[in-house]
């Protein structure tokens, strides 16, 4: 009897000792229907380029109007009124000012934003282990998206500064071509603070925006596949899955617009000639904190909601075309 008890005790000890070793073998990169290899990450980066670069460039007219509403709300009090004023004074071509730095800057941002998000999400999951990664997955989404956007904004900042300056400068006071505008920004770097003078307000705008964008997208997708589309995701057609992607992205985008609007207004105000040399606190005080939060918010909600929905749809369409599946969290596992 004592012999049997001794054998059982030894077996239990071996099982306990083996458990951590088994857990250590778990790799978040491999715990997916499609393993997250380096090739997977690279395809996600390319999808991010298409997702952000194309959509931001497509809505340049909205962006031009929104930026001018932010820096001069008296002259440009509404979206359509602002568009009419810009076209009347500068011609219809003025509505696409800054399209080239927009395309370059947001393509670079998308490369980092989507690709790095996937990398950081797996990296942080491996750091905390399988059980914690599942239990605290919302925190992992927030941490991974914030980390990805930190680097994405560094890539975006120079072209974002050129874009804002081109779009908000009165006609004839600043070059509108990409090379000429970038050269002028560089020559006047003491005043413009090019190329990274807007990085801190950009982080203030984009990091909360991206955290909301990825967190709520993941969350809404999970809700759809828990309460609306209750069968396994792979049982639905690609068209249905992409419909879920767009709806989830649009809902997340509306939240993003509200969260990040004050910082977005500040980025636009920093490009205004009258604000040269002023601190962020001075600009905010003079413009008014309520104006920071509310001026231009309606067109931004329309713009960002549509933009975010389309970004996720383009990103997932690209992923689906290469057999990577659609994005977003699956229903939470029940204990």
pLDDT above 80 (res 138): yes
Q: State residue 321's pLDDT score.
A: 96
Mean pLDDT of 146-170: 95
Q: Is 157 within a domain? A: yes
Looking at residue 8, its pLDDT comes to: 56
Cα dihedral sign, 304-308-311-317: negative
Per-residue pLDDT band at 298 (split at 50, 70, 90): confident
Is 63 or 103 the better-scoring residue by pLDDT?
103
What is the structure's pLDDT at 10?
Answer: 44
Q: Say if 24 falls within a structural domain.
A: no
176 located within any domain = no
pLDDT computed for residue 149 by the predictor: 98
Give how far Cα 152 sits from Cα of 18, 55, 302, Å. Answer: 41, 16, 23
pLDDT of residue 7: 45
What is the per-residue pLDDT for 66?
82
Q: Tell me: the pLDDT tens digits for 238-258? A: 999 999 999 999 999 988 888
| 41: exposed, middle or buried (Cβ count in 10 Å: 0-12, 13-18, 19+) | middle
Q: What is the pLDDT of residue 286?
A: 79
Mean pLDDT of 31-41: 95
Is residue 185 situated within a structural domain? no
Residue 13 belongs to some domain of the structure:
no
Summarize pLDDT for 182-196 with one digit per residue, the tens.
999 999 999 889 999
Say which range, 66-80, 85-99, 153-167, has the weakest mean pLDDT: 66-80
Task: Report how far residue 248's alpha carbon sits from residue 228's, in angstroms, rounded to the nearest whole number.
Answer: 12
Tell whether 23 is covered by a domain: no
Q: How confident is the model at residue 271 (pLDDT cuts 50, 70, 90)?
A: low
Higher pLDDT, 60 or 66: 60
CATH of the domain at 156: 1.50.40.10
Share of the chain above pLDDT 70, in %: 91
**Please, what is the average pLDDT of the chain?**
88
Share of the chain above pLDDT 90, in %: 64
pLDDT at 165 over 50: yes
Q: Does the reported pTM lie above 0.95?
A: no
Assigned domain for 175 exists: no
Q: Is the pLDDT confidence value at 167 over 50?
A: yes
Q: Is the dihedral of CA 311, 316, 317, 319 positive or negative?
A: positive
Higher pLDDT, 327 or 300: 327
Number of domains in the chain: 1
Across 57-79, average pLDDT:
87
Of 236, 249, 241, 284, the C-alpha closest to 263 is 284
pLDDT of residue 335: 53
Residue 295 lies in a domain: yes
Domain residues for 203?
35-169+196-321
Contact 162, 106 (CB under 8 A): no
């Amino acid at each position: 009897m004592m012999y049997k008890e001794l054998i059982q005790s030894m077996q239990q000890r071996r099982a306990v000792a083996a458990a951590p070793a088994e857990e250590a073998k778990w790799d978040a990169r491999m715990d997916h229907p499609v393993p997250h290899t380096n090739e997977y990450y690279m395809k996600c980066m390319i999808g991010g380029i298409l997702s952000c670069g194309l959509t931001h460039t497509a809505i340049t007219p909205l962006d031009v109007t929104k930026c001018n509403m932010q820096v001069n709300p008296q002259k440009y009090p509404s979206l359509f009124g602002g568009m009419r004023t810009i076209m009347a004074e500068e011609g219809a071509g003025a509505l696409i000012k800054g399209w080239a730095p927009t395309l370059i800057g947001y393509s670079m941002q998308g490369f980092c934003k989507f690709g790095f998000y996937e990398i950081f999400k797996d990296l942080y999951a491996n750091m905390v282990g399988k059980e914690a990664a599942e239990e605290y997955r919302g925190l992992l989404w927030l941490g991974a998206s914030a980390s990805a956007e930190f680097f994405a904004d560094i890539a975006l900042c120079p072209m974002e500064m050129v874009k804002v300056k081109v779009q908000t400068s009165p006609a004839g006071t600043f070059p509108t071509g990409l090379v000429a505008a970038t050269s002028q920004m560089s020559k006047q770097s003491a005043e413009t603070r090019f190329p990274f003078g807007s990085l801190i307000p950009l982080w203030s705008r984009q990091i909360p925006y991206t955290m909301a964008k990825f967190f709520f997208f993941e969350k809404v997708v999970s809700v759809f596949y828990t309460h609306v589309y209750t069968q396994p995701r792979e049982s639905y057609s690609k068209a249905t899955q992409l419909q879920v992607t767009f709806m989830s992205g649009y809902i997340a985008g509306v939240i993003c617009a509200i969260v990040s609007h004050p910082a977005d207004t500040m980025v636009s105000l920093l490009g205004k000639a009258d604000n040269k040399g002023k601190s962020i606190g001075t600009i905010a005080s003079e413009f008014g904190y309520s104006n920071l939060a509310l001026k231009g918010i309606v067109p931004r909600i329309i713009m960002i909601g549509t933009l975010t929905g389309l970004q996720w749809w383009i990103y997932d369409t690209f992923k689906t075309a290469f057999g990577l599946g659609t994005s977003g969290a699956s229903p939470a596992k029940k204990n």
